[in-house]
Chain A
Amino acid sequence: GQQVMQIPQYQHVQEGEDFTTYCNSSTTLSNIQWYKQRPGGHPVFLIQLVKSGEVKKQKRLTFQFGEAKKNSSLHITATQTTDVGTYFCARYNNDMRFGAGTRLTVKP
């Protein structure tokens, strides 16, 4: 099935620095979803993108869907310690395929 590749696997930043995680597919995606999982918790839905070139913002988080609908990114501006966790992209098409996730750690 369609796989989504996510990079980087880990990212360690100083509080206040920006963070970006990238999701790529070899085939065109009908949609891309992003989830956050806090340490010891379960994944929580953040957003879904469906349109080519779509950009959505949630406070300090900016989500983009590429023009060719083969890639997506999540950018966090001025990270805070509350942003710690693993961020996953996923594509939905009856079944679900998740990327391997990017684990973000933030040094205060």
Chain B
Amino acid sequence: NAGVTQTPKFQVLKTGQSMTLQCAQDMNHNSMYWYRQDPGMGLRLIYYSASEGTTDKGEVPNGYNVSRLNKREFSLRLESAAPSQTSVYFCASSTYEQYFGPGTRLTVT
């Protein structure tokens, strides 16, 4: 029982490059979330998916897209990375309490 897994753990991109962050959960949760965490800013919700087949914008969706591939997997895509997207990204799944993955540390140069 792995909980919530995220890949990759670290990534360095150049401005304008694209990438997809992967997230999977094995707890049969309906809801999944993507957050970014910047120093002093807490966790800010990018997108969430309340159930398979649905996605909704959070606080800071600009520059990101998501796909709820199936009940287990929820991916986050950066189409054209910008230095402002340098952050730590967390995926979470939940019934009501959130279970977080280990995070992806992304640097955009």
User: Contact residues of A with B, CB < 8 Å?
Assistant: 1, 6, 9, 31, 33, 35, 42-45, 48, 88, 90, 92, 94-101
Q: Which A residues touch B56, using CB under 8 A?
A: 94-95
5 contacts between A and B (CB under 8 A): A48-B96, A92-B96, A95-B48, A96-B98, A98-B45
Question: B90 near A100 (CB under 8 angstroms)?
Answer: no
Q: How far is the CB of B106 from chain A (nearest CB, A)?
A: 15
Contact of B90 among A33, A43, A95 (CB under 8 A): A43
Identify 5 new A-B residue pairs, CB closer than 8 A, beyond the known A45-B99, A96-B58, A97-B59: A45-B97, A88-B43, A90-B98, A94-B50, A100-B41
Decide yes or no whether B77 CB sits under 8 A from chain A. no
Chain A residue nearest in CB terms to B103? A42
Decide yes or no whether B44 CB sits under 8 A from chain A. yes
Q: How far is the CB of B40 from chain A (nearest CB, A)?
A: 7
Bound state CA distance, A44 and B102, in angstroms? 11
Counting chain B CB atoms within 10 Å of each CB, the highest count among A31, A43, A99, A100 belongs to A43
Q: Which B residues touch A48, using CB under 8 A?
A: 96-97
Q: How far is the CB of A96 from chain B (nearest CB, A)?
A: 6
Chain A residue nearest in CB terms to B44? A98
Bound state CA distance, A97 and B35, in angstroms? 10
With known contacts A1-B59, A9-B40, A42-B90, A97–B45 Cβ distance under 8 A: yes
Counting chain A CB atoms within 10 Å of each CB, the highest count among B58, B97, B102 belongs to B97
Bound state CA distance, A6 and B50, in angstroms? 26
Bound state CA distance, A44 and B100, in angstroms? 7
Q: Which B residues touch A42, using CB under 8 A?
A: 90, 100-103
With known contacts A88-B43, A97-B59, A33–B97 Cβ distance under 8 A: yes
Bound state CA distance, A24 and B97, in angstroms? 20
Question: A101 near B42 (CB under 8 angstroms)?
Answer: yes
Counting chain A CB atoms within 10 Å of each CB, the highest count among B43, B56, B94, B96 belongs to B43
Decide yes or no whether B33 CB sits under 8 A from chain A. yes
